[in-house]
Amino acid sequence: MDRTIFLVDMQSFYASVEKVSQPELQNKPVIVAGDPKQRSGIVLAACPLAKTYGVKTAEPLWQAKAKCPELEVVQPHMSLYLKISYQITKILEQYSDLVEVYSVDEQFIDVTYTLHLFETKEQLAKQIHDEIVDSIGVESRIGIGPNKVLAKMACDNFAKKNRMGIAELNPANLEKLLWPLPIDALFGVGSRMKEHLINMGLHTIGNLAQHPVKWLRKRWGINGEVLWRLANGIDQSPVVPRTHQTQKAIGHHMTLPRDYDTRAEIYVVIKELSEEVARRVRKQNYLGLTVSIQVQSNNFQERQGFNRQLTLTDPTQLGRVINRVARCLFDQYWTGYPVRALGIALSQLMPKAERQMSLFDDPTDEEQLARIIDQIKEKYGLTAIMSASSLSKAGQARVRATKIGGHNR
């Protein structure tokens, strides 16, 4: 049976929510941006009116203001965006029980089994759009396809650019509509892969789709075949409800307010990130086996930095263990350049109940103490108990405790 899948994308989501919650902003050019004092003065979202001035997402705040001095700059309210996103999920679930949250502003919905209740796919898409506008006040763009990848590319490349805000990609129009697009319009192709593909003479999605898959597989293994399949509109992955609740890894990433160039300062942040990751792992009653660290310098043009991981002999949920491994990896691969961003993650997760206890190293008492500390933080706030190092100038725990995803609540 052929499937029909929608990708519902909220237009300028953060900025649109701010306009709904603050009616006085309705007819003004609005952007949502981080705090420039905390080195996060980047445009996170721009309303359609702001975009008419050339303002773009991810550009520095000063550049946006230079293009449009009348900009209304609003700091993000992440808890509000998450609440609205959940409300949108509930609206979509009225049309199908197969709804998959892809991001805070994008959701897949498989309407294969409810489509017969409507005259056309476009009619159903319009009804979903209208109900979201009536209930939430936010416009959406909807891509339609027989699978998730075509629905996503229909939305990104066509629905966002036409007046109706609805577009469909399917095997019948794939060659005409999708193949002429530049290679970086293909889902999953970033700047680095774009360079590789162009160097191979593959400038368009159609070039890649018609390239012998055996040569792509030879160069990039299974990833090469995946790219070829995406270019040909082949995707068999199902829409999985509550997929966001099943985690393969738990991590925490931080952009620093200034360059950190001493080992002692960087150690403070590594410790804070390790403790936060461990707390979230314990909250979900997991253990993890692989510790990874991501380090980014202040030199984005040369992409200076590294991402390394190490697998433990025994799974853990302790910040002390994660911190020790992360510091070892940092010491091994850092060459002294100023650090702008750090990330720590624990992967290969498993339910704690599945752990086989060691006869020689029983972490039960330490885990119980960690859980008591977690309970205190849950009741009195994340800053109720902190390491002394977090009170130093390098510490970021107090600032991060007031935010969600690095932004204001």
The encoded tokens of residue 331 equal 């010491």
Q: Hunting for tokens 């902003």 — which residue is that? A: 25
257 exposure class (CB count in 10 Å sphere: 0-12, 13-18, 19+) = middle
Rounded distance between C-alpha atoms, residue 80 and residue 82, angstroms: 5
User: Would you call 276 a catalytic residue per the annotation?
Assistant: no
Euclidean distance between CA atoms 314 and 298, whole angstroms:
35
By DSSP bridging, strand 72-74 and strand 30-33 are: parallel
Q: What is the 3-state secondary structure (H, E, C) of the chain?
A: CCCCEEEEEECCHHHHHHHHHCHHHCCCCEEEECCHHHCCCEEEEECHHHHCCCCCCCCEHHHHHHHCCCCEEECCCHHHHHHHHHHHHHHHCCCCCCEEEEECCEEEEECCCCHHHCCCHHHHHHHHHHHHHHHHCCCEEEEEECCHHHHHHHHHHCHHHCCCCEEECCCCCHHHHHCCCEHHHCCCCCHHHHHHHHHCCCCEHHHHHCCCHHHHHHHHCHHHHHHHHHHCCCCCCCCCCCHHHCCCEEEEEEEEEEEECCHHHHHHHHHHHHHHHHHHHHHCCEEEEEEEEEEEECCCCCCCEEEEEEEEEEEECCHHHHHHHHHHHHHHHCCCCCEEEEEEEEECCEEHHHCCCCCCCCCHHHHHHHHHHHHHHHHHCCCCCCCHHHHCCCCCHHHHCCEECCEEC
State how far the Cα of 118 lies from the Cα of 253, in Å rounded to an integer.
Answer: 44
- Beta-carbon contacts of 154 under 8 Å, excluding residues fewer than 6 positions away, are 7, 143, 144, 145, 167, 168, 169
Pull the structure tokens for residue 280.
């979230």
Is 105 assigned to a binding site?
A: yes
Establish whether 362 is an annotated binding residue: no
The one catalytic residue in 106, 168, 265, 275 is 106
Residue list, annotated binding site: 9, 105
Residues annotated in the binding site for Mg(2+), as ranges? 9, 105
Catalytic residues, by residue number, are 106
